[in-house]
Amino acid sequence: MSEILLQVQGLGVTYASARGKVKALEGLDARLHRGEFLAVLGPSGCGKSTLLKLVAGLLRPSAGRVTLAGEPINGPRPDVGIVFQQPTLLPWQSTLNNVLLPIRTLRRDLAQGRRRALELLQLVGLETFANHYPGELSGGMQQRVGIARGLVHDPALLLMDEPFAALDAMTREHMMLELQRIWMATCKSIVFITHSIPEAVFLADRIVVLSARPGRTIRELSIDLPRPRTVATMGEPRFNSICNELRSLFTELVHFN
């Protein structure tokens, strides 16, 4: 296996709020190899988005450490792209300008960025909406703008928090195939958070399953289905038996909750 890009060790996060302390993660260990596609599966509220925000450098751990290429993560980094669970678009900016946000923040070449942004808008099926504003788009369309924004600066590490959850079944399937294609063509490393077992099995090289809150790794599974995976892969017995194995694990998790 290739070098470890991202390492999470003994990670703990406790939120302090007016309602008291909430332990979101405790003693979580995980790693991502360079070029790997890792899916993180876990029940709602177990701390998946918290984990993503930590790796993105948007939140500090209460315990443990997170390193990227051996360096502790101290804040947001230019070589990391993030697709948030909510689209989080700027309502006063057009679709194109929202996608261009990382290009402007990182002071990259704007003409080249614009070309890439338009390519990505085409990829997510929104090329005719470049000049529309977020308020004129559906929830699923806004989420696709968020996906284009996460990819526009060509980050080596892409963090995706349930990016396809708001999409209709047809678009979701199309986006899964496209994401696999982009990943295979560009050698990116991806952390993909999802609730969907088939989505995780279809996309991932490895799946990390988190416990109910406070989240920690309770299972790791390598997915050795050959690539490229296609729509037909989802009908194969091996695909279904992995999904069933994960489903029974989840049933146990929910019983423990």
Ligand X SMILES: Nc1ncnc2c1ncn2[C@@H]1O[C@H](COP(=O)(O)OP(=O)(O)OP(=O)(O)O)[C@@H](O)[C@H]1O
Q: Does 49 bind Mg ion (CB under 5 A)?
A: yes
Longest dimension (CA), the chain: 54
> Who's near 20: CB < 8 A, 6+ residues apart?
none
Question: C-beta of 88: minimal distance to Mg ion in Å?
Answer: 13
- CB nearer to ligand X: give 15 or 250: 15
Question: C-beta of 47: minimal distance to ligand X in Å?
Answer: 4
Interface with Mg ion by CB under 5 A: which range of 40-48, 86-94, 106-114, 125-133? 40-48
Q: Tokens 């989420």 correspond to what residue?
A: 143
Both structure tokens of 147: 């996906």
Question: C-beta of 214: minimal distance to ligand X in Å?
Answer: 8
47 binds, among ligand X, Mg ion, none (CB under 5 to 8 A by kind): ligand X
Dist. CA 67–CA 73, nearest whole Å: 6
Question: C-beta of 257: minimal distance to Mg ion in Å?
Answer: 16
**In Å, how far are 174, 224, 234, 243 from 170, measured between CA atoms?**
6, 25, 14, 20
- CB nearer to ligand X: give 27 or 45: 45
Interface with Mg ion by CB under 5 A: which range of 17-25, 49-57, 164-172, 208-216? 49-57
Which residue number is nearest to Mg ion in terms of Cβ? 49
Dist. CA 154–CA 117, nearest whole Å: 11
**In Å, how far are 55, 64, 70, 193 from 48, measured between CA atoms?**
11, 16, 22, 7
Question: C-beta of 14: minimal distance to ligand X in Å?
Answer: 9
144 binds, among ligand X, Mg ion, none (CB under 5 to 8 A by kind): none
46 binds, among Mg ion, ligand X, none (CB under 5 to 8 A by kind): ligand X
Residues forming the site for ligand X (CB under 6 A): 15, 17, 22, 24, 42, 44-50, 85, 213
Question: C-beta of 45: minimal distance to ligand X in Å?
Answer: 4
Interface with Mg ion by CB under 5 A: which range of 9-17, 83-91, 132-140, 224-232? 83-91
Question: C-beta of 3: minimal distance to ligand X in Å?
Answer: 28
6 binds, among Mg ion, ligand X, none (CB under 5 to 8 A by kind): none
- CB nearer to ligand X: give 21 or 238: 21
Residues of this chain that interact with Mg ion (CB under 5 A) are 48-49, 85
